Amino acid sequence: MKNALVIIGESIKYDEILVSYIKREVSEIFKKIDFYYMLDGSDKELFLLVEDILQKCSQVVIATDEKNFNITGKIISTLHSDSLILKNDMLLPSNSSIFDDNSYLYETDKYKINVIKLKEEEKLPKILLKESNSVEFINLFNMDEESCEILLMPIAENYDIKVKTIKIIDGWSLVKLEAFKYGQLNNFIDSILQLLPDRVIPQKDVFSHITFKLIENNLKITTAESCTGGLLSSMLIKYSGVSNIINGNLITYANDIKEAWLGVTPETLQTYGAVSKECVSQMLEGALNVSNSNISVAISGVAGPTGGTKDKPVGTVYIGVKSKNNDEIIKKVHLKGDRVYIQNQAVLHAVKLLLDLEKNIFFQNP
């Protein structure tokens, strides 16, 4: 079962914030978007493009701007020898099975199409497609991809499940689980949780899981970031309820701010530099002290494209985690890519260290 997200209209196409919003909402339904298209409503081949997409997929969300909403309805009607009618103040194909404000669902024997009309700065219309129950994701830690598949595949066969592993970083894989006709997803996941209780997070969104577990255990976390500029913080504060676990986070880019806010000593900065194990260790301690948190995370590195040296080339990043009882892990990584990719990879390494530090908290699976 393949699915697709199709965006039609230049007014949406270049609005990155709105596009990101659409993707998040559709991902809640599809779990994984197999095909993604951005089309111009003025394209002379639009009819053929939509027809081709429908031949490939069983579920499609078409998000259009106001200008292209009726055009899309006309294309769907023409493809199915249908006609447009006025319902709920919108033109839609007469055989649409369900409709809501600025949203309708059109079903055939081969596929389902949900067309939604978007307006800038407004809430997304209701998506009428139902969430697929044939695909789930789990996150598996401290095991390489090959070992994951060797371990999981024989078990998956017993539950009629197809397994696909996707490497996130070393020691962290996202595992896609797809049920065949008689697949037992929930039973398979329960079996894996019993087999690997300290390595599995039974959902796709690890950041959401971390937030929930900290709230559940009444624990507070704080971050002190340099080269990632608050990226880790932004990933944690996306979720409702974070006011219970975060008093504050710090972006300490300049050395004098590391000194003033976190208590990093001038001697440490002069002797070892800001990109060092010693600096990150003091950032961790300072973040705990200033925030009165239970756990701290610190990142300091060279994200590039400039600023690297022979000893500390671009991509050199020190990442640390520390708990209030003084358990501490600091890791040096050498990352590759452009500035944004290095920053994102650093955040992922920080998350994995956090999970390693507090296994008793984050792997308390039901």
The CATH code of the domain that includes 93 is 3.40.980.10
CATH code: domain of residue 219: 3.90.950.20
Provide the strand spans (E) within the chain. Answer: 3-8, 35-39, 59-64, 84-87, 90-93, 98-100, 103-107, 112-117, 135-141, 161-169, 172-179, 200-201, 221-225, 250-251, 295-301, 316-323, 328-334
pLDDT at 366: 63
Rounded Cα distance between 151 and 159, Å, is: 14
Question: Is the same domain home to 187 and 252?
Answer: no
pLDDT tier for residue 226 given thresholds of 50, 70 and 90: very high
- Residue 128 domain-assigned (yes or no): no
Question: Is the same domain home to 156 and 237?
Answer: no
Token pair belonging to 252: 């300490």
* Segments forming the whole domain that contains residue 264: 207-362
Rounded Cα distance between 229 and 31, Å, is: 29
* Model confidence pLDDT, tens digit, residues 280-330: 999 999 999 999 999 999 999 999 999 999 999 999 999 999 999 999 999
Q: Residue 80 phi/psi, 5° resolution?
A: -115, 20
pLDDT tier for residue 52 given thresholds of 50, 70 and 90: very high
Tell me the three state secondary structure of residue 173: strand
* Model confidence pLDDT, tens digit, residues 162-187: 999 999 999 999 999 999 988 999 99
Q: Name the pTM for this structure.
A: 0.89
> In which residue are the tokens 């209780």 written?
197
Question: Is the same domain home to 108 and 153?
Answer: no
Token pair belonging to 109: 């024997």
